Structure 1
Amino acid sequence: MPVSNKLKVEEGVYGITESPNIERIRFGEYELNTWYGSTVYFAQDKTTLGYKYANLDKELQSRRKVPKVEKEIWLEKLFVCDNCFKYTDIKETFQDHVLKCELNSKQLGKIVYRENNLTIRKVCGAKHKLFTQNLCLFTKLYLDNKSVFFGVENFDFYIVYDNVIQKPMGFFSKEKLSLDRNNLACILIFPPYQRKHLGTLLISFSYELSKVEHLISGPEKPLSPFGLIGYLRYWTTVIVRVFIYGQLREFTTVSMSTLSTEVGMRQDDIETTLKYMNVLVKKEDGDDKIYIKKDLLRQWAKDNNITEIPILERKYLLI
């Protein structure tokens, strides 16, 4: 999702509701609960889907008023295509679309990573505006710290596909020109495909993009609670691997700048991770040196089954 400033929940703000306002989602063959509410699927009357309202003539639009009494659930079920993310509230329209969807037999964008089971494709927001807008709308139902708008032109979307079922399973977005040099703006693994380590794969890929650009980088802040969990999983794995199996396996003391360069992570993210793992002996203010408890790192590797095998196989990169 291309924007990160959280909107306040107040009357007239178009984007966020205090609780889910769509009860259920039919996403391809899956029936899903929504996690968060979003007004952006709807017209200002809070009862009509936006694309339907836009197709009404001006006279009919003027007759529709915003209800005075706020309903908790605005729509019982929304049908979303799990190929192109187009949506409707009519079952028959959805079923007809599924049979005819032009993305049934193809995927958009350029392949940038391909292994036996998975493919990552880069989709340009400016080139595929409707697809990425609809993707952002769907995403807002499962992320609470991102607001939605339609300015997708300045973002690239990296979408992971299953090579067998040929379905998108998750994505991350990246600003084409980030003043803060962020390598990721938003990440979501769709609910049916979670707990398959796909989030860690995409995070790892975002850092590979930064390495190609010779950047020390990281995600846009602030991270959502789920986002922070995902990043700590990746950051701890990378740091354990470089100290136990990698270039720094003989070191217990290293400069923060050296470690940052070696792993491609920002220094504040490294410090957060080391404190989270409780393996940082000490770091004096103004001192670039850090002192690592290697025995605790080895135990962390054992407890979390961290091996020499990388998260992402570089030989499959096509960037």
Structure 2
Amino acid sequence: TKGSLSKARSIENTKLKTINQIRFGSYLVDTWYFSPYPKEYQNVDVLYICEFCLCFFKVEKELIRHIRRCEIRHPPGNEIYRNERNSIFEIDGNYFRIYCENLCFLSKLFLDHKTLKHRVNLFLFYVITEIDEYGYHITGYFSKEKYSKNNVSCILTLPQHQKKGYGKFLINFSTPERPLSDLGVASYMAYWYETLLKVLLNYNQISVQELSEITSIEINDILTCLEEKDIFKTAPNGDIIYYINPKQMEFVLSKLNQKHYDLCKSKLHWVSYDYHLALYE
């Protein structure tokens, strides 16, 4: 049908990059997908982006001139969390529209399904940063629709900061909205897998309901993860049991010895939007 064809073309268009790379701070990053930046910024080899305010430029000299004048060194909004090397800011799209729109443009370069059809004033954005003597450098973020039961609409760790544990750090805040992007599926599945194995390691017998209560992971997500990772087995008497094979055991034991960016609740200073600002909008 005409509608189906239009939808198929729309999906296909998200695969056609018009910006090949971005210069972001000290990183030159290959993009993955199309992002609807303004027309005059399309079809370029490199788009130059200020890593602090997220303004974007076609020419490197323009970015250099901008950096000399730009006084911003951290995301706008409220700082709600800080540890020795990281900080998280809560940003209301209603009050910082330009920054949040630019953040969405940036994230769309690396997310296959994210659309920009919704106004940013309907969302809260939680940006995680690395801190050094030059400022607060964005490493990833997630967004939350203000009036939705789901507390994550979009989640992203920038490619240059992946494999550092930031995805799991952000997931500690979150329950995902469906459908998940390819990157979202991979991020959440990795988090669920590691979290569930760590719990299963300490039990000879445990129900899925108990797993959900311990980990705060939804039952359907637990079932999906354990089935995909081939941890569920059917015993000869027909009972469903779990089995951690030697390779999985080696994996989880290695994770127990690694340093993780676990959320320290004592360093979180935050009041839920639902119980505070929402009353005044």
Under TM normalisation by the shorter chain, which class is it?
0.7 to 0.9
The answer as to whether partners of 2:15 and 2:112 remain within 8 angstroms in 1 is no
State the percentage of identical aligned residues.
Answer: 29
Equivalent position of 2:209 in the other structure: 257
The answer as to whether partners of 1:160 and 1:168 remain within 8 angstroms in 2 is yes
Equivalent position of 1:19 in the other structure: 16
Shift of 1:16: 4.1
The answer as to whether partners of 1:253 and 1:290 remain within 8 angstroms in 2 is no
TM-aligned CA distance change 1:36 to 1:317, over 3 Å: same
CA RMSD of aligned residues (A): 2.7
Structure 1: gaps spanning 5 or more residues = 1-6, 50-72, 207-217, 284-288
The answer as to whether partners of 2:81 and 2:267 remain within 8 angstroms in 1 is yes
TM-aligned CA distance change 1:290 to 1:173, over 3 Å: farther
Once residues 176 and 186 of structure 1 are traced to their aligned partners in structure 2, the CA distance between those partners, rounded to angstroms, is: 13
The answer to whether 1:280 aligns with 2:276 is no
Shift of 1:299: 5.7
Once residues 307 and 14 of structure 1 are traced to their aligned partners in structure 2, the CA distance between those partners, rounded to angstroms, is: 40
SS in 2 for 1:232: helix
The answer as to whether partners of 1:238 and 1:263 remain within 8 angstroms in 2 is yes
Once residues 297 and 269 of structure 1 are traced to their aligned partners in structure 2, the CA distance between those partners, rounded to angstroms, is: 21
Shift of 1:81: 0.9
Higher relative contact order (CA 8 A, sep 6+): 1
Equivalent position of 2:156 in the other structure: 188
Equivalent position of 1:37 in the other structure: 34
Greater percentage in helix: 2
- Which structure is larger by alpha-carbon Rg, 1 or 2? 1
TM-aligned CA distance change 1:87 to 1:311, over 3 Å: closer
User: Which residue of the other structure, out of 129, 147, 154, is the alignment partner of 1:177?
Assistant: 147
Q: Deviations over 1:117-164 (max 9, x none)?
A: 111211111121110000001111111111123511111111111121
The answer as to whether partners of 1:187 and 1:227 remain within 8 angstroms in 2 is yes
1:123-142 alignment, distance < 5 Å:
123-142=91-110
User: Which residue of the other structure, out of 248, 256, 267, is the alignment partner of 1:307?
Assistant: 256
Structure 2: gaps spanning 5 or more residues = 1-5, 271-281
User: Which residue of the other structure, out of 213, 219, 241, is the alignment partner of 1:291?
Assistant: 241
Equivalent position of 1:221 in the other structure: 178
Equivalent position of 1:87 in the other structure: 56
SS in 1 for 2:173: helix
TM (normalized to structure 2)?
0.81
- Structure 1 segments (4+ residues) deviating >6 Å: none
